[in-house]
C-alpha cells in the first residue's frame, strides 16, 4: 500500500462486487483513496484523517443479526460520508432508520428522479437512468434525513442530512450504466468533502518511488519481466527507484508474438537496470509436448516459468525483494475470496518459494489497467510499450488450441502479425482493446489454385472492454476483415480459412483457453 500526504478518501468495503471500481472512479476524479475493511476501527480512521468516507455495497441484509455494521461513532466525527447500496442501508440502520425487504426488487437500469437542490446532483438533470441492484430498501429514514432521489418502486433512492454531511445512494454511481454517476461522485468529493483534486499519476510515481527506496535500502530486487504493460511499468518504476539494484529476468518462453522478444530486449537493455533474457523455448515446448488440456497447459507453463526463473535467480545469489506486476483484475479473476476460478493466471499466487527473499513488492496491485498505462507514460515509457495490448502470461500457448508445436506457433505468429498490422493500418488499434489470432487446430477442406487443401482454420478475436472482466466483440469493418482474411490465406502457409469470433464475455472468455 502506498501512503500519501495528499487529501484522501477512505472507501470502507462491505464486500460488494464493485468496490474497487468505486476506488478507481474516485481516483479518476483526481482524489487519492484507499480501500479498507468496514471493520477498520474509528481510532484508526481518525488517525488517517480522510476528507470523506464512502461505504460500499455488499451482499448482506443489514437487519440480519450477523450483517456487517458500522459503529455509530463514525457519524460523530464530522467526516462527510457517502453510503452506496448496502452502504446507505448500513448508514440508515446505524442511525435509527428502518431497512426492510422491498416489495419490488430493482435490478439494472432504472429511471430515477433527482432533487437537484442536493449538492450530490448539482448541475445535473432532474431525471436519468441509474443502475440498481437491491432487494432491500429504506422504509424509514433516520431523523434529520430527507429523500433526494426516488424511482417508481423506491421512495429513497438517495438521502441526505446536509447539516451532518451524511449522504446515501441506493443505486451504483460507479458503474457506467448510471448516467452522470461519475459526476455525482465528483460532486460528493469536491462540493461536500472539499477535495481539490491533488492526486495525479505524477504524485503516485513520486510517492511510490520514495517508499520503494525506503523499503529496499541497499537491497537487491528481482523482477520477472514479461514485456507486457504491467511488468514493464513495474520494471520502470522499480528501476527509477533503485536503479541497478534491480535485476529483470525476461524468460523468453518461445510463446511470444512475432518479434516481441527482441522488442522487449530493445526497450530495456539500455536502462540502468540489469536485464537478463533467457532463451527457454526448448524447455517449454518439451514440457508441452502431447498436452492438450488448457488448464494443464497453463499449469505446466506456470511451473516451468518458475523453474527457469529459479535457475536464473540462483545465479544472482541472495535477493531481498521480489517484484510482482500484479494488477487488480488479475487478483479477482484468479479466484481470490469466493469467486470461482475460471483460469489459472500464472502471474498470481504462484510465488516462488525457492528464492530466499525478505518480501514481495507489488507496486501496481491496486491499479486498474488504465491507471497503469497513465503511470507508464508518466514514467516516460515509450507509447508502443504502454499501449501494448494485454498478453496472457502463458502466451500463444493458450491461443493454439490443443497441443502446442513449434510449427503451429509459427503459423499463428504470422497470422497474428498480419491481423495486428491491418488493424493498426486501419487506425483501429486504440479503439479495439484486445485483438489477436487463434489457431483453432481444426482443419477443413479448401481449394487453392486448382488443388484441394486441407489446412488450419484461424479465428480472429477482437474485443472492446473497460476492465477485461466483461467484453463485447469489436465491430471490425468488413473491408478490414476482408483484407486480413485475404492476406492470411495468401501469405501464411497452412491456413485456408478465417473466422471471426462474435461472442461477448460472458459467456465466452476473451482468450479461447
Does 98 contact ligand XMP by CB under 6 A?
no
Q: How many residues bind to ligand XMP according to rule CB under 6 A?
A: 17
Tell me whether residue 368 or residue 468 sits nearer to ligand XMP (CB atom). 468
Query: Residue 409 Cβ, how far from ligand XMP at the closest point, in Å?
Result: 17
Q: Are 334 and 302 in contact (CB under 8 A)?
A: no
Q: Site for ligand XMP (CB under 6 A): which residue of 346, 373, 408, 487?
A: 346
Query: Residue 349 Cβ, how far from ligand XMP at the closest point, in Å?
Result: 11
Q: Which region, judged by CB under 6 A, interacts with ligand XMP, from 13-21, 27-35, 161-169, 343-351?
A: 343-351
C-alpha cell at position 461: 478475436
Tell me whether residue 335 or residue 446 sits nearer to ligand XMP (CB atom). 335
Residue among 85, 161, 193, 248 flagged as catalytic: 85
Does 464 contact ligand XMP by CB under 6 A?
no
Burial 383-395 (b: 16+ CB within 10 A, else e): eebbebbbbbbbb
CA distance 400 to 57: 40
CA distance 270 to 273: 8
Does 227 contact ligand XMP by CB under 6 A?
no
CA distance 38 to 56: 9
Q: Site for ligand XMP (CB under 6 A): which residue of 69, 98, 206, 343?
A: 343
Tell me whether residue 57 or residue 392 sits nearer to ligand XMP (CB atom). 392
CA distance 359 to 355: 10
Tell me whether residue 418 or residue 510 sits nearer to ligand XMP (CB atom). 510
C-alpha cell at position 114: 433527482
Query: Residue 7 Cβ, how far from ligand XMP at the closest point, in Å?
Result: 33
Give yes or no: 174 in active site: yes
Does 256 contact ligand XMP by CB under 6 A?
no
Does 253 contact ligand XMP by CB under 6 A?
no
Q: What is the DSSP string of 217-252?
A: TT--EEEE--SSHHHHHHHHHHHHHHGGGEEEEEEE
Query: Residue 428 Cβ, how far from ligand XMP at the closest point, in Å?
Result: 17
Cβ within 8 Å of residue 271, ≥6 positions away? 236, 239
Q: Are 305 and 346 in contact (CB under 8 A)?
A: yes
CA distance 505 to 49: 40
Tell me whether residue 398 or residue 488 sits nearer to ligand XMP (CB atom). 398
Q: Which of 485, 488, 469, 466 is nearest to 477 (CA)?
A: 485
For residue 37, what is the enclosing H or E element?
A: strand 32-37
Give yes or no: 93 in active site: no
Give yes or no: 85 in active site: yes
Does 511 contact ligand XMP by CB under 6 A?
yes
x/- track of binding to ligand XMP for residues 397-436 (CB under 6 A) = -------------------------------------x--
End-to-end CA distance of the chain: 33
Kindly list the residues in this chain that would bind ligand XMP in the complex (CB under 6 A). 330, 333, 342-343, 345-347, 390, 392-394, 434, 468, 505, 509-511
Residues carrying an active site annotation: 85, 172, 174
Amino acid at each position: 500500500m502506498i501512503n500519501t500526504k495528499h487529501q484522501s478518501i477512505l472507501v470502507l468495503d462491505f464486500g460488494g462486487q464493485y468496490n474497487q471500481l468505486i476506488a478507481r472512479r474516485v481516483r479518476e476524479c483526481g482524489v487519492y483513496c484507499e480501500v479498507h475493511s468496514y471493520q477498520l476501527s474509528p481510532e484508526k480512521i481518525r488517525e488517517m484523517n480522510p476528507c470523506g468516507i464512502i461505504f460500499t455495497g455488499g451482499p448482506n441484509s443489514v437487519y440480519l443479526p450477523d450483517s456487517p455494521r458500522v459503529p455509530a461513532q463514525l457519524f460523530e466525527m464530522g467526516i462527510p460520508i457517502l453510503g452506496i447500496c448496502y452502504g446507505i442501508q448500513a448508514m440508515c440502520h446505524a442511525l435509527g432508520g428502518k431497512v426492510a425487504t422491498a416489495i419490488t426488487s430493482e435490478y439494472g437500469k432504472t429511471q430515477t428522479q433527482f432533487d437537484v437542490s442536493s449538492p450530490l446532483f448539482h448541475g445535473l438533470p432532474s431525471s436519468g437512468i441509474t443502475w440498481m441492484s437491491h432487494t432491500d430498501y429504506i422504509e424509514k429514514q433516520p431523523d434529520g434525513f430527507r429523500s433526494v432521489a426516488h424511482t417508481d418502486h423506491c421512495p429513497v433512492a438517495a438521502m441526505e442530512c446536509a447539516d451532518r454531511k451524511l449522504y446515501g445512494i441506493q443505486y451504483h454511481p460507479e458503474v457506467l450504466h448510471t448516467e452522470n454517476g461519475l459526476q455525482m461522485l465528483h460532486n460528493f468529493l469536491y462540493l461536500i468533502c472539499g477535495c481539490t483534486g491533488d492526486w495525479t499519476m505524477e504524485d503516485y510515481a513520486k510517492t511510490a518511488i520514495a517508499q520503494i527506496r525506503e523499503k529496499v535500502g541497499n537491497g537487491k530486487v528481482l523482477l520477472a519481466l514479461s514485456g507486457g504493460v504491467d511488468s514493464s511499468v513495474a520494471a520502470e518504476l522499480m528501476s527509477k527507484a533503485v536503479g541497478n539494484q534491480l535485476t529483470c529476468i525476461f524468460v523468453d518462453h518461445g510463446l511470444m508474438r512475432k518479434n516481441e522478444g527482441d522488442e522487449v530486449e530493445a526497450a530495456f537493455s539500455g536502462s540502468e537496470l540489469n536485464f537478463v533474457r533467457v532463451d527457454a523455448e526448448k524447455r517449454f515446448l518439451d514440457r508441452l509436448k502431447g498436452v492438450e488440456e488448457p488448464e494443464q497447459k497453463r499449469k505446466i507453463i506456470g511451473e516451468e516459468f518458475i523453474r527457469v526463473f529459479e535457475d536464473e535467480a540462483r545465479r544472482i545469489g541472495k535477493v531481498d525483494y521480489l517484484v510482482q506486476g500484479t494488477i487488480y483484475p488479475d487478483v479477482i479473476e484468479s479466484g481470490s475470496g469466493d469467486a470461482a476460478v475460471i483460469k489459472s493466471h500464472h502471474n498470481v499466487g504462484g510465488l516462488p518459494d525457492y528464492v530466499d527473499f525478505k518480501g514481495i513488492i507489488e507496486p501496481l496491485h491496486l491499479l486498474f489497467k488504465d491507471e497503469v498505462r497513465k503511470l507508464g507514460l508518466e514514467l516516460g515509457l515509450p507509447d508502443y510499450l504502454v499501449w501494448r495490448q494485454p498478453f496472457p502470461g502463458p502466451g500463444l500457448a493458450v491461443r493454439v488450441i490443443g497441443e502446442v508445436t513449434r510449427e503451429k506457433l509459427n503459423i499463428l505468429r504470422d497470422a497474428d502479425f498480419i491481423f495486428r498490422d491491418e488493424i493498426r493500418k486501419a487506425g483501429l488499434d486504440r479503439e479495439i482493446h484486445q485483438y489477436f489470432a487463434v489457431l483453432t487446430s481444426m482443419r477443413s477442406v479448401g481449394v487453392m489454385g486448382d488443388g484441394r487443401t486441407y489446412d488450419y482454420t484461424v479465428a480472429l478475436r477482437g474485443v472492446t472492454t473497460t476492465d477485461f472482466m466483461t467484453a463485447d466483440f469489436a465491430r471490425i469493418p468488413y473491408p478490414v476483415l476482408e483484407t486480413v482474411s485475404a492476406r492470411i490465406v495468401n501469405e501464411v502457409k497452412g491456413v485456408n480459412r478465417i473466422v471471426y469470433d462474435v461472442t461477448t464475455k460472458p459467456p465466452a472468455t476473451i482468450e479461447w483457453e
